[in-house]
Chain A
Amino acid sequence: MFHELRFAIRTLLKNPGFTATAVATLALGIGANTAIFSVVSSVMLKPLPYPDAGRLVMVWEDNMQRGFPQDTPAPGNFIAWRNQNRVFEDMAAMVRDSFNLTGMGEPERLEGLGVTASLFPVLGVKPALGREFLPADDQPGAANVVILHDSLWQRRFYRDPDIIGKSIALNGQSYRVVGVMPRSFHAPISDNELWIPLPFDAEQRENLHSHFLFVIARLKPGVRVEQAQSEMHTIARRMEQEFPATNKGVDAGVVPLREQLVGDVRTALVVLLAAVAFVLLIACANVTSLLLVRSAARQKEIALRAALGAGTARLARQLFGESLLLATAGGTAGLLLAVWSLDALLRFAPEDLVFFGKPSIDASVLGFTALVSIICAVIFGFAPMLASSKIDLHEVLKSGGRTAGTSGRGLMRRTLVAGQIALALILLIGSGLLLKSFSRLVGVGPGFRADHLLTMRVELPDAKYAKTEQRSTFYRDVIGRVDRLPGVQSAGFITWLPMAFPGGSSYFTAEGHPHSPGDEPLALTRQVTPDYFRTMGIPLRQGRAFDAHDIESPPEVAIINEAMARHFWPGEDALGKRFKYGSESSPRPWKTIVGIMSDVRQFQLDQTPRPEAYLPYTQPLASFFAPRDLVVRTAGDPLGLARAVRQEIRSVDAELPISNVQTMEELVATTVKRPRFNMLLLSIFAGVALVLAAIGIYGLLAYSVAHRTNEIGIRMAVGAARVQVLRLVVGQAFGLIAAGLVIGLAGALALTRGMKSLLFGVTANDTATFVIVPVVLLIVALASAVVPARRATRVDPITALRYE
């Protein structure tokens, strides 16, 4: 083998052009595969960072009737589930919370979780420092304790080894640090930097109507997910019978944690993986083609070796040695390409791809790359071997009479090229669909004017801003100051800006449309300052905006969106109608609708607007709904005013942390990050495929023209005009291209169906895409045929016919 390898190295080095082309082609294909595989491996294959993570499941309320198949459970349900089940070792509940860290320099807003003491045991993780929460910690009335994440400990406490036992100020209250979680720890629902206990008092333990918990559980050893599901189903049934008012139609759903985390991205990753596999196949086809050309050129050498007694095995070894060498070089270059491109790729990646640590080139990825390279070597080493085994020694070695022509090998290369075109077409159609879908998506008007808007978040801590009046004063002061800043046109506060928070809805009852208890409809609830609508550029459809009277001596008024008007007062004039929160019999006041605003997209551009009610910020409401998002319309660059606006907030309350400073356009863009990522990657791969396929066509025709000069000369001698020669070559290409396109269309029709869930506003068999893309590919393919075809027309018949 060693001898063959040395010879292979020598042959490859002697043909630097061939070698470079082949290695570069392979590097592209293998590099793309390596990069995507590293993502797939980190998201789908690597074990989750918890011991025995296969036994971890998320448990949801399944409230299909109201359109929430995965609703966050209410505390009462969680308690019941936890007490009654026999399938879980334990269950834990979490609630998202944010904290203002004060009392030590710059205030900072931190994302944290309130968790039951069972969380860390359920996950099977222990703090690096100190202790985890004890059952006593999440009892009502227990002392305030907190566990920090390594990153927070590092960033704000400089890895103070004596941190345990010290107190820190969160939301104006003192918490004692009892533990520090290791750097490698990530909570399953979101990346957090601190955890506090989540106690349920007597009232909460009965609460079946507020749904806000995330519930995770660990299966007992040997219990299957289906068993757990059926057990939870039984418990939910029981609850439904016992508490019909709240639990009617509320089932429980069990989802393995991995599936929960990966579910949404799986389709995208599978599509991308298929895409890079196609790219690799196309690359392999090009290299195979190159090798075939070379083996044709080397026929004499091979025949001579065979005539001198080299056995088939020996010849095969030599050819395979070369392929393997090429694949190794290509694989190495591809690996470098992947390392280099992975960072760029991850910059565009949506958060859920990097949730459990950044994808990296690790041992499993290296193994994958090696395997892929070997597979490549087998794929393209096989063809020349097959070709060489068919060489007719006598035919090759004898000299003499000549006829111009090609052999069966031409057929093999033509098949390869048609296959490349088919694969490229599938990729191009896939990316065309994503492209169209993406443009549809960003073409959706959000319902407001996103340009020239600066946004930021200021959370008012309950301790300091307990009363509605206190909060109202703050908003008034801030708006007054910000409004006076030069360059500011207007400013407003709202509970959550569109696209900023996927929740915040309440049950309500429209007057005259009573519902049986438990069946009340939901509407998003937002409190706003009066200039909010003008600042956002949300048009008023009917009635009026809030006026000074609504603000100062708050009558029970509300503005609703068109979706709510349409949905609950169909065919009626919603203006002047009344609704109240809760059931008809609830003690809450009726609110009169004074205006109807145009719809905005509240969560995602691709989600139709939900019913939404806006209330004046001065109306007393749970502090959960207190405005926290500030939006400012600016004359110039919004971010240019960020400093000045922050300064004004500081001067009202220096203790308040300000976070999420960004433009509204950036906020909207984050909601399309995932489709953009898919679209971008698939487009890149389709582009690479297109180029490789074009090279394939060019290579085939250039070779065939060079090979057929004699034939072309003959045709010219008997009177073929230039156009006829051109037609000959382009016609040959056209047949291939047409065959490739037909196969590709069929393949695309079958495969793009799998992309359905990635598409918005375009069907998986969108006619325009299926017509335009093949035409584009046809044009590119014909264009790459033109150069060799023109070369053919310049063949000089005398030179071509002079015997060699």
Chain B
Amino acid sequence: MTNGSTPLIHLEAVTKVFVTDEVETHALAGIHMDIAKGEYVSIAGPSGCGKSTLLAILGLLDTPSDGTYILNGKAVSGLKMHERARIRNREIGFIFQAFNLIGDLTVYENVELPLTYRGTPGSERKKLVHEALEKVGMSHRVKHYPSQLSGGQQQRVAVARALVGSPSVLLADEPTGNLDSANGDAVMDLMRELHRNGATIVMVTHDPRYARFADRGIHLFDGRIVDEKVEAV
């Protein structure tokens, strides 16, 4: 299934149940999954099948109802709030469909944010932010505010923010969902580029064209993995 000895991410019988108004929604029903370092995994499936929930658990934004999650050899399900925040900050880079940039901060400040929370010294921060913006081709817009950018540009800034702290894994939830195809293509090219340079990527996407870029495609249905295929690249 995987090509390394110890996987970067190891999920075992992970479930997630949402209880609202006495209604139980089984968003994830026993997920087993290993993701190796440097892998590019795409997750597909119909709306409501649990893709975002899975990504949130991977990104430590949410906790599984049951099961084991081992990240980088460390069990992370039972960690305290501040430890989880620390791991999110160092190991995870998030890219959202809705960009989720902070409107009151400039491009530079948005990208700098994870480093600020990490306590990286100023001079190094500056270097890293510029490198990240360089990678996504946005270094000419550091002083702009998100509202002054196009959707595609905003998403590239969001990618820069995700990778600025050199996280272990980039998690992207339908990153092209709000973009037209030209801009979508550009962002996808960027992701491929990052992968070629060694980044581990887990990406939710509906688009079969983009799914094909990945090393491995996982298909979810009703909270279960129903299909898994390895691309013969």
Residues of A in contact with B (beta carbons under 8 Å apart): 400-406, 710-711, 713-724, 797-798, 801-803
Contact = CB atoms under 8 A, between A and B. Distances in A.
B114 A719 contact: yes
B97 interface: yes
B192 interface: no
A719 B89 contact: yes
Given A715-B113, A719-B86, A722-B85, A403 B56 contact: no
Chain B interface size, as a band, is 20 to 34
Contacts of A724: 85, 117
B61 interface: yes
Interface string B119-154: 000000000000000000000000000110001001
B90 interface: yes
B98 A717 contact: no
A719 B88 CA distance: 5
B102 interface: yes
B166 interface: no
Contacts of A403: 99-103, 146-147, 154
Contacts of A718: 88-89, 94, 113-114, 117, 161
Interface centre among A406, A722, A801, A803 (most CB of B within 10 A): A801
Nearest to B177: A803
Contact of A404 (B81, B86, B100): B100
B228 interface: no
Interface centre among B81, B89, B98, B113 (most CB of A within 10 A): B98
B217 interface: no
B22 interface: no
B40 interface: no
23 contacts: A400-B178, A401-B151, A402-B100, A403-B100, A403-B154, A404-B103, A405-B146, A713-B100, A714-B101, A714-B102, A717-B61, A718-B114, A718-B161, A719-B85, A719-B86, A719-B87, A719-B117, A719-B118, A721-B81, A722-B85, A797-B61, A798-B56, A801-B98
Contacts of B87: 719
Given A717-B100, A718-B89, A718-B161, 19 more contacts: A401-B99, A402-B100, A405-B104, A406-B104, A713-B100, A716-B85, A716-B88, A717-B61, A718-B94, A718-B113, A718-B117, A719-B89, A719-B90, A719-B92, A721-B117, A723-B82, A724-B85, A801-B61, A803-B98
A167 B26 CA distance: 105
Given A401-B154, A403-B146, A721 B101 contact: no
A717 B99 contact: no
Contacts of B231: none
Given A717-B59, A719-B114, A724-B117, A404 B88 contact: no
A721 B102 contact: no
B62 interface: yes
Interface centre among A717, A718, A801, A803 (most CB of B within 10 A): A718
A718 B118 CA distance: 10
B96 interface: yes
Contacts of B90: 719
A722 B100 contact: no
Contacts of B103: 403-406, 711
A710 B100 CA distance: 8
Q: Name the prevailing secondary structure of the B interface residues.
A: helix
A721 B85 contact: yes
Nearest to A725: B85
Interface of B: 52, 56, 59, 61-62, 81-82, 85-90, 92, 94, 96-104, 113-114, 117-118, 146-147, 151, 154, 161, 178
A631 to B, nearest CB: 72
Nearest to A717: B94
A719 B114 CA distance: 6
Nearest to B59: A717
A724 B102 CA distance: 16
A405 B147 contact: yes
Contacts, number: 89
Contacts of A400: 178
Contacts of B114: 718-719
Nearest to B158: A714
Contacts of B102: 403-405, 711, 714-715
A801 B86 contact: no
Contacts of A710: 100
Contacts of B99: 401-403
Contacts of A713: 100
A404 B61 CA distance: 19
Contacts of A720: 85, 89, 117
A7 to B, nearest CB: 33
A335 B101 CA distance: 50
Contact of A714 (B92, B97, B100): B100
B164 to A, nearest CB: 9
B50 to A, nearest CB: 13
A717 B167 CA distance: 13
Contacts of A402: 98-100
A798 B178 CA distance: 18
A718 B91 CA distance: 10
Nearest to B81: A722
Contacts of B97: 803
A722 B147 contact: no
A720 B94 CA distance: 13
Contacts of B151: 401
A185 to B, nearest CB: 69
A714 B62 CA distance: 14
Contact of A717 (B81, B82, B86, B88): B88
Given A404-B100, A405-B102, A798 B85 contact: no
A406 B96 CA distance: 20
A704 to B, nearest CB: 11
A755 B130 CA distance: 58
A713 B86 CA distance: 15
B85 A401 contact: no
Contacts of B56: 798
A406 B92 CA distance: 27
Contacts of A722: 81-82, 85
A713 B52 CA distance: 15
Q: Which 8 A-B pairs have the closest CB atoms?
A: A405-B103, A719-B89, A403-B103, A721-B85, A403-B146, A719-B88, A718-B114, A719-B117
A799 to B, nearest CB: 10
Contacts of B85: 716, 719-722, 724
A801 B82 CA distance: 20
A619 B177 CA distance: 110
B128 to A, nearest CB: 14
A803 B178 CA distance: 11
Nearest to A406: B104
